Amino acid sequence: MTALAGLAVLLAVPPIEHFVRQLSYPLRDTAIINRQAAAEHLDPALVAAVIYAESKFDPRTSSAGALGLMQVEPSTARNLARISGGSEFTVADLAHPATNIAYGSFYLRYLLNLYDGNRMLALAAYNAGPTNVDTWLVRDRAAGRSLSVATIPFPQTRAYVSKVEAAAKTYRRYYSKLLGPP
C-alpha cells in the first residue's frame, strides 16, 4: 500500500465510524433535547437514551397508544399538562418533537423527584408506571430487601432500565460535544 493510499484509508475511517454510530445510536433534535434537559435539570444524554430506548428516534405510535419520540401516553400527557399548569393539550401535540420531548423530560424529572433522585426507580416507573414500582417497593421492603434492577419482576422493565443506563453512557461518550455537560 502506498503512503497516499494509506492516508486515504485513514481519512475514510472517521466518516464510516460516524455513519456506524448514527445507525447504532441515532441522535436528532439535539437543540430540543438540550433545552428540555436544561429546563428539567436532566443530563441530555439521559434524555437521548430514553428516546433511544422508547423509539430509536422514530416517532411512531406504540401498540399501547404511546406517541412520539419519548412514547408518552395521552393519559400521562393530560396529567402532566394539569400538574404543570399547562394550557390546552391535544393528543396531536405529542407528534411534534419539541412538545413530546418537553412532556417526556417533564415526566422523567417528575419521576426522579418522586423517587428522591433514584434513576433506576424513575426509569422503571417511566416504563412500567409508578403504581407498579410502588407495589414492588412495598413488596421488597416487606421482604427486608431493596428493589434492584435484578429484582424488578417485569423482564421488559429490567431490560429497559439496563438499556437506558447503557445507552446514556454511550450517548455521553459518542456525543458529548453535541449534548453538552451532564
What φ, ψ does residue 53 adopt, rounded to 5°?
-65, -35
- Cα(64)–Cα(94) distance, rounded to whole angstroms? 15
Element (H, E) at 82: helix 74-84
Q: What are the cell numbers at 171?
A: 450517548
CB 176, CB 164: distance < 8 Å: no
CB 57, CB 26: distance < 8 Å: yes
State the catalytic residue, choosing from 54, 73, 88, 165: 54
Residue type, 82: R
Strand partners, 72: 67
- Cα(141)–Cα(139) distance, rounded to whole angstroms? 6
Q: Is 165 a catalytic residue?
A: no
Q: Left, alpha or beta for 117 (phi > 0: left; psi -120 to 50: alpha)? A: left
Active site (catalytic) residues:
54
